[in-house]
Structure 1
């Protein structure tokens, strides 16, 4: 069971990094720091959008209109960290005890 917990934690951490990268890229595009006409930037943006949007869309639908401020990545990060902590609380860790 420890391997499952490790895998879940690793996937959660990687997805949090992807969410942060997506948010930073959206800020850079909004402030015209990077140009979306650049093929590399457009490709990175498309990949990040396709990975994060299916998970963020239901959260955005539940939130009220905040006037252009999107807090759905923050809420999702908090939910992922909560799920990770919850898994650690309720799944007992096994220690290897060998008796002969």
Structure 2
């Protein structure tokens, strides 16, 4: 029974975190607000608008502090709940904060990898079918800020885009570093 409750709690928290995170990324990447996917995400995350009365937006409205604060609160609640339901509540608040921060960065790296991979696959889909959907546009617009710095580094090779390979390499290095930090953190506590 306890394992089922922990699983349901984990699923619900991950869905809430993912929705708020996509709300943050959509605003950060300046995705078109008229896209139906963006409209439904904004409607599903109305709670962010309540927090935006307290926390302002930065960088000409692109960095939504309300979504970021809500994301941190949700991640803290998820990690505390998961530890509590597993029967090992955290020893200290500092450990919970550091663990949540490392976990959030690892999740960010994972989502960035998924976005880049989805962009590659959807690029092929668009090329072969010659059609675009709102979902494809949102994913490509979300991945563009990740790939743009690498495109500036590489020479123009026409139809061949090697920027995802460099982005995957950079994300892999970041993931290895964060895994090492997580390992040291867990050993230290």
Check whether TM > 0.5.
Answer: yes
Q: Whose RCO is larger (CA < 8 A, sep 6+)?
A: 1
Aligned with residue 7 of structure 1, among 100, 104, 124: 104
Q: Which residue in the other structure is 1:26 paired with?
A: 123
Structure-2-length-normalised TM-score: 0.43
TM-score (norm 1): 0.76
- Matched residue pairs, number? 91
RMSD (Å), alpha carbons? 2.1
Residue by residue over 1:45-87, the C-alpha shift from the partner in whole angstroms, topping out at 9 and shown as x without a partner, is: 2211221112211210110122311111121111012012123
User: Unpaired runs of 5+ in structure 2?
Assistant: 1-97
Deviation string, structure 1 residues 16-38 (Cα, Å, up to 9, x no partner): 11111111011111122x622xx
Give, in whole Å, the separation in 2 of the partners of 1:95 and 1:60: 39
CA shift for structure 1 position 90: 4.9
| Aligned counterpart, 1:45 | 136
Query: For 1:22 and 1:5, how far apart are their aligned partners in 2?
Result: 26
1:59 paired with 2:150, answer yes
Runs of 4 or more, structure 1, over 2 Å off, are 87-92, 94-97
